[in-house]
Amino acid sequence: MTSRLTERATWKALEKHATAMRGAHLRQLFADDPKRGERLAVEAAGLYYDYAKQRVTDETLQALLALADACGLRAKIDAMFGGEKINATENRAVLHVALRAPKGASFVVDGEDVMPSVHEVLDAMSRFATSVRDGSFVGFSGKRIRNVVNVGIGGSDLGPVMAYRALRSYADRELTFRFVSNVDGTDFAEATRDLDPHETLFLIASKTFTTQETMTNAASARAWVLNALGDEAAIAKHFVAISTNAAEVAKFGIDTANMFGFWDWVGGRYSMTSAIGLSTMIAIGPERYREMLDGFHAMDEHYRTAPFEKNLPALMGLLAVWNQNFLGAQTIAVLPYDQYLERFPAYLQQLAMESNGKGVTRDGTSVSYETGPIYWGEPGTNGQHSFYQLIHQGTKLIPCDFVAFCRSHHTLPPHHDLLIANVLAQAEALAFGKTADEVRAEGTAEALVPHRVFEGNRPSATIFADELTPATLGALVALYEHSVFTQGAIFDVNPFDQWGVELGKALAKRIAPELTSQSELGHDSSTNTLIRRYRARR
């Protein structure tokens, strides 16, 4: 079956236009329009987005906007904000935007306004976070809590760890934060080896409270605490659950009075502003946390209301579609020039790739075009001395998102100016390159000329904000959430399910008992041989 997207006139128009654009070079596009750098930029919620170095013309943008209209992007946004069950394969609404809306806002699911419950949980989180921060919440033996360990994986880990690292300069430095996610016991052992159980609080974060990795780590945490404190009653003072599943929380042995809830209309990878953000709130305090939520909300409102030609997430999403489907890119490199954002690319990987890594449309038809791009990246300038070579001179087209801030949290001249000089230089080098004539003019020996040529014409965008604050971080994450939504709307996939994680989970459940028994094996010959080898050597 052919899917409808590639049959659309707007898609075909883009294909035709892309053929014409193959000969266009960013050098020429800038020469033709001296104001291009000012024109192809948009600002929202404290983020300035320069997309002038993308390989687009006004015609490209018009064609992409026409595609967005043809794909019903506006109606799809309205359906999400309206609480419709757009996650049809799980029969769920998708309302992470409600989590950051202020008091007085209204979001309705199944005829019920969810906002009172959202703020009830936020208020409970605030009270709890404050009591940990001011020392009024103490451990079982009366000692102050000094360590907070978040145990979770995927969306129950990546948001919290990314946000903690990003906002460390706002965090209470008297408290130590650790994040345990991997079922590899090394993660738990290393995270707890120097901590005192009397002073340690575990946040068991799991939407389902059934995830194998998290439950295994939570059980180890329980044993670690009981081993030191010797009394079941200690659990209430050292464990908090963050989940949608009260029954499983109770079964695990955590009093549901120590539970912070959320709802099935919050997807795991969209949950960092739900109770899953408790570690962030304990770290930076409820007021700063509210500033972060306000940053998210400002971008949510911009996405919901701005016309698409000025709509930052919509443009970012459409440019991703353009680069993947019409210019042949496969990936997007996200390159934050800020060490505090070291885990931002990892966070985006789940957000983008678990959302749009899909091969069928919402009605189950196989797609005949590229869906979700691969997101990857590392902080600059480190990447410059590692993989940028391939981006500059390799055979693959890798669009880059640079993220940078005008002000640093540290006055350590000349570091910040050098950092910014580098990010600007990279975007410039990628776009404009260096011709053979320019290389020769530098006196380069002829044999070396081809090696020193930079073809240029490599697309990038730069997100420039004043400072990495809680609000800026919120706006930045919401920007990518909605860019991912935009891409999903064009691809006509459901960005909110993740059936692709199921098969591996089921097979691991089958294999686990086989590793420690001598049972007959019924896998393929490769898997059987590997299991036998493990059995013999474990």
Closest CA to 277 of 127, 191, 156, 98: 156
Closest CA to 79 of 65, 92, 64: 92
Q: Which uninterrupted H or E stretch holds 335?
A: strand 331-336
Lookup: tokens for 460? 């990038």
Lookup: tokens for 240? 């908090």
Indicate left, alpha or beta for 437 from its phi (over 0: left) and psi (-120 to 50: alpha).
alpha
Q: Which of 385, 442, 451, 520 is catalytic?
A: 385
Q: How far is the CB of 129 from ligand F6P (least distance, A)?
A: 20
In the complex with ligand F6P, the residue whose CB is nearer, 200 or 214, is 214
Q: Which of 103, 310, 415, 505 is catalytic?
A: 505
Q: How far is the CB of 504 from ligand F6P (least distance, A)?
A: 9
Question: What angle do helix axes 58-70 and 312-325 make, rounded to 10 degrees?
Answer: 100
> Cα–Cα distance between 241 and 440 in angstroms, integer?
65
Amino acid identity of residue 486, one-letter, is T
Distance between start and end Cα atoms, the chain: 49
Q: How far is the CB of 82 from ligand F6P (least distance, A)?
A: 24
Q: How far is the CB of 178 from ligand F6P (least distance, A)?
A: 18
Q: Is 467 a catalytic residue?
A: no
In the complex with ligand F6P, the residue whose CB is nearer, 211 or 280, is 211
Owner of token pair 């340690």: 200
In the complex with ligand F6P, the residue whose CB is nearer, 211 or 457, is 211
Q: Is 96 a catalytic residue?
A: no
In the complex with ligand F6P, the residue whose CB is nearer, 28 or 89, is 89
Owner of token pair 């430095």: 173
Closest CA to 148 of 201, 206, 189: 201
Q: How far is the CB of 485 from ligand F6P (least distance, A)?
A: 16
Q: How far is the CB of 348 from ligand F6P (least distance, A)?
A: 14
Lookup: tokens for 108? 């309705």
DSSP annotation string for 226-282: HHHH--GGGHHHHEEEEES-HHHHHHHT--GGGEEE--TTS-GGG-TTSGGGHHHHH
Q: Which of 213, 291, 354, 378 is catalytic?
A: 354
In the complex with ligand F6P, the residue whose CB is nearer, 154 or 399, is 154
Taking only Cα atoms into account, the Rg of the chain, rounded to an integer number of angstroms, comes to 25
In the complex with ligand F6P, the residue whose CB is nearer, 24 or 250, is 250
Owner of token pair 């391939």: 390
In the complex with ligand F6P, the residue whose CB is nearer, 207 or 288, is 207
Q: Is 446 a catalytic residue?
A: no
With contact defined as beta carbons under 8 Å apart, do 139 and 145 qualify?
yes
DSSP annotation string for 141-173: TSPBP-EEEEE--GGGTHHHHHHHHHTGGGS-T
In the complex with ligand F6P, the residue whose CB is nearer, 208 or 393, is 208
The torsion of the CA quartet 431, 434, 435, 440, rounded to 10 degrees, works out to 180
With contact defined as beta carbons under 8 Å apart, do 119 and 216 qualify?
no
Length of the chain: 538
In the complex with ligand F6P, the residue whose CB is nearer, 212 or 386, is 212
Lookup: tokens for 197? 């159980």
Q: How far is the CB of 269 from ligand F6P (least distance, A)?
A: 5
Q: Cβ contacts of residue 161 below 8 Å, gap of 6+?
A: 150, 179, 181, 343
Q: How far is the CB of 214 from ligand F6P (least distance, A)?
A: 5
With contact defined as beta carbons under 8 Å apart, do 428 and 434 qualify?
no
Strand partners, 44: 47
In the complex with ligand F6P, the residue whose CB is nearer, 93 or 461, is 93
Q: How far is the CB of 241 from ligand F6P (least distance, A)?
A: 11
DSSP annotation string for 170-207: GS-TTSEEEEE--SSHHHHHHHHTT--GGGEEEEEE-S
CA distances (Å), origin 440, targets 144, 426, 448: 68, 22, 9
Q: How far is the CB of 350 from ligand F6P (least distance, A)?
A: 7
> Cα–Cα distance between 128 and 319 in angstroms, integer?
42
Interface with ligand F6P (CB under 6 A): 153-156, 206-208, 211, 214, 268-269, 354, 498, 501
Catalytic residues, by residue number, are 354, 385, 505
